[in-house]
Structure 1
Amino acid sequence: MTFWIIAFAIALLSAIPLALALRRAHGIGDVDSSTAEVEMKVYRDQLKEVDRDEARGVLSAEDAKRARIEVSRRLLDADKARASEKHGVRGAPIWAAAVLFAAVSGGALWLYNDLGAPGYEDLPLTHRIELAEEARANRPTQDAIEQMRPPSPPIMEPDERLTTLLVQLRDALTTRPDDLQGHILLARNEAVAGNYRAAYEAQKQVIRIKGPGATADDYADLADMMILAAGGFVSPEAEDALTKALQRDPQNGTAIYYSGLMFAQTGRPDMTFRLWQPLLSSSSAEDPWVMPIRQQIESVAQAAGIRYTLPPAPMAGGLRGPTQEDVEATADMTPEERQEMIRGMVEGLAARLANEGGSPEEWSRLISSLAMLGETERAKAIWGEAQVIFGATPEALAVVRQGAERAGLVE
């Protein structure tokens, strides 16, 4: 009800000035009326001037009489013109103002009813977070979601040899339940064949056999297989596996990517962006999560109300720039040739990072390489630029800092 009262008040305040403008006399008549008043004042002054001239003897009585008659005639004409103009200029009738108010109010109501959401409750940030937490808590279980959704397509179509291998592995492991390598092989091949439920069941056995020695990758692989079995949905069971992976390795890329996906699915795009953006900036082109993140992160940022521009895609083939092997390969060159070759590689790396951006490792290598060439001031400038670029990502900045430490720029 409060909303409609406010909307009605706004419509009323919008219509009142327009209604007053319609009621008020307007147009050229106002200008003409003021002109007639000026003319009448001039004629009155002329009559007084005629009286003064007659008294001084400048005009004879006869001339003064004729002048008074002429000026009086003009004064009467001006007075008639003013009166007719005032009668001819009229404001709009009151019903026109009422029609205007009805049109403004009705049009606004129709537009809001057509484009808006009447009756939709407010969604402040705290309430949206509560709804997201509720959605996360009430997600379907792994078994329920597998019944509702088809699994993801297989990595490759299984051929006869793979099918035969899987049958043999399954039969063999029925009598060797603690065969670690057998279960690892079974989990991988079941996943390749698209049998994701069988794959994550085998992966559970791998974790059981390893016990406390199970790694972050083991749990991340388990979550990966469960999510693929659920058609891309992150179930509570898959989230539990992701949590255990991150407890063992907070930088596990697979676990970070799927954790972000889980937040996106439960209405927290802000948390998704907070996880994906640092991961993307510190990943290489070969990492499997880079492509799906690049395909989704801009829409995630928009949903979170964040301005974000997708950086250029990282180049495949690993880091580019001078490596220790590159330096050793120059052993047969003269010192001048060796220095020139190294400098060319460094300049190429610097130009690419300036134009395309790059990974923290590449920034680290550039800083240390410049220091090696004696360009300490330039290395300091690039270290300062890197702190701005990677300042929001402590993990990535720590990698760049290693190059600054090798260059002697920080202790």
Structure 2
Amino acid sequence: MNERWEASVERLVSRDDVWLTRRHIEEHLRAGRWTEETFLDLVSLHAAQKPNAPAVIDEDGAVTTYGELERASDQFALGLQAMGVCPGDRVALQLPNTHEFLVALMGTAKAGAISVLCHMPYTEHDLAYVLQLTQPKVAVVMATFRNRDYLAPMRRAAADAGCTLALVAVPQAPDGDTVSYADLLRSAAEGAGDSLHDTRPVAVDPFFIMFTSGTTGRPKAELHLHANNLYWIRQLNQTARFEPAAKWLVVTPIAHLTGLGIGCLGALSRGAPVALLSHWDVQRAVSVMRREQPTYLLGATPMLVDLARADDLTASSVPSLRGIVYAGATCPAEILRSLNTKLGADIFACYGYTEGASRTSRALGTVSTSPACPSGNGWMDSKIRWWMSAGRGSNRLVKENSGCAART
């Protein structure tokens, strides 16, 4: 371990909202749960080995390759540095499912900063709560989306929270008070900013802050480390045995851990392509499925209900589909049977994915609004079930596993 690693460990264990100790970290490393690799390291490796391979496919079919994703995130990081963002600062992201979200997430991490993930439906009240708690220096916001202005609410929320921040508008800034995402990348490409070598995170550095749903009170902030996030991804891959190079279609919001961790980061860590639906619309989803021919679809229960009722979705229209993954609320058995009959796809359900980390990571007595650091065991508290087809095209569903042991 080098000096940067030791400095990061010291910063982590000295936080008053994290119960991890050096002993915990050493145990995770010895057990192989944590490694010195980060998600960024894996994407950089894929970019070097296959720069022209597709990484992210937007809803309109536009493709961002691994080489382009690597370069754009470097430029974004340099642009943040030019705006005064330093390691440890927070950068709020309020973006839909687009490649810009992943560029901003990776670029923020490369600058040594921590992304604060804000859901698109957040009201000014929600945003003010998040901003007051995390105090980001920059907010990256979709200027308009589905005929709604997102910049003005973010400005008002920042004022209410007493938070002074700069705004970056995606894709273009409508006024002189806001930095344009396109201009940010362009200026960095022309040589602005400092080297990223000294700010690139190590595995025990924070990656992002995500807020839970807050079903029993205000949403709780969870601080996710690079090491623990990669551990979750590898645990899921090992348990579910997803095909490594398979294409994913993510239709659930990637500002949530399901869409981000299981879908985007999982696929990209393996060097696979991920297609995104910007927002839920069943006809758009069917159209993108037909065009992209994904191997796996990642959604939520309401989306599965809509797909089960879509008359124009059949196994012959999406012959590539092998699995449907969903999380959140329980899906009615008749919906699962309908999808299995129509598509012949295995169905994989995850419950307690986000909350599992919270249960294992929060010290006793920690207030619910305080960021907590996952310990590396969060996945083992989640409930995982497979509803598998007995054969492609079969009408019979088999409940193959309950719990988190590997399939047999």
TM-score range, shorter chain: under 0.3
> Which structure has the higher relative contact order (CA within 8 Å, separation 6+)?
2
More strand, by proportion:
2
Relative to the length of structure 1, the TM-score reads 0.26
